[in-house]
Amino acid sequence: MAQFKHPQILIASNLTDGEVVFLGPSGWERDHRRARVAQNAEEAAALEASGKRDISANRVVDVYLADVEIGGDGAPTPMHYRERMRVKGPSVRLDLGKQAAASGGAP
């Protein structure tokens, strides 16, 4: 297993519609701010184990841990620009993806 350096969240794609989801305290969430944050390697392994179960249950695909930093409000933000893109949507179409719903734009 990769060395644990930063808090992590579990990120995946929902099987039926492909939307990016995050493992929360009770199931998969579409908003990364509700993701459960692993603070150490054991917690990260536990997240991954739940992820594996839900792969087997044909709920999600493409599951992996992403490093995050915790903001003042306690919510996690991915550290890498790739995952930052995934929690928002395309940077060239601010009217699409999660960012659109967040800003009250087009659904």
Partner 1 sequence: MTAIDLRAAQRPNAPTTTYRYDDYDAAFVRERVAEFREQVRRRLSGALTEEEFRPFRLMNGLYLQLHAYMLRVAIPYGTLTARQMRRLADIADKWDKGYGHFTTRQNLQYNWPKLVDTPDILEALADVEMHAIQTSGNCIRNVTADHFAGVAPDEIEDPRPTAEFLRQWSSLHPEFSFLPRKFKIAVTGAEHDRAAILVHDIGLRIVRNAEGEIGYQVVVGGGLGRSPFVGKVVGDFVPRHYLLAFLEAILRVYNRFGRRDNKYKARIKILVHEKGIDEIRAAVEAEFAAMDRSVFAHDPDEFERIAAYFAPPPYETLPPTSDVLRAAKLDAPAFANFVDVNVSAHKIPGYAIVTVSLKPIGGVPGDATSDQMRVLADASERFGFGELRVSHEQNIILPHVKQDDLFALWRLLDAAGLATANAGLVSDIISCPGMDYCSLATARSIPIAQAISKRFSDMSRQRRIGKLGIKISGCINACGHHHVGAIGILGLEKKGQESYQITLGGDPTFSASIGEILGPGVTAEQTPDVIEHLVDFYLAERVEGETFIDTWRRIGHARFKDVLRREGEDGADI
Binder among 42, 69, 70, 91 for partner 1 (CB under 8 A): 91
Nearer to partner 1 (CB atom), residue 73 or residue 106: 106
Binder among 62, 69, 70, 105 for partner 1 (CB under 8 A): 62
Query: Binding of partner 1 at residue 55 (CB under 8 A)?
Result: yes
Nearer to partner 1 (CB atom), residue 16 or residue 26: 16
For Cα atoms 84, 76, 68, give the angle at the middle one, nearest 5 degrees: 65
Neighbours of 67 (CB within 10 A): 16
CA distances, 69 to each of 49, 81, 90, 94, 101 (Å): 22, 12, 21, 23, 23
Minimum CB distance to partner 1, residue 50 (Å): 17
| The amino acid at 21 | V
Q: Give the CB-side neighbour count of residue 52, counting CA atoms within 13 A.
A: 6
What residues from 6 to 45 belong to the interface with partner 1 (CB under 8 A)? 13, 15-20
Nearest to 82 by CA among 62, 67, 97, 102: 67
Minimum CB distance to partner 1, residue 42 (Å): 27
Binding site residues, partner 1, CB under 8 A: 13, 15-20, 55, 57-58, 61-62, 80-82, 85-86, 89-93, 96-98
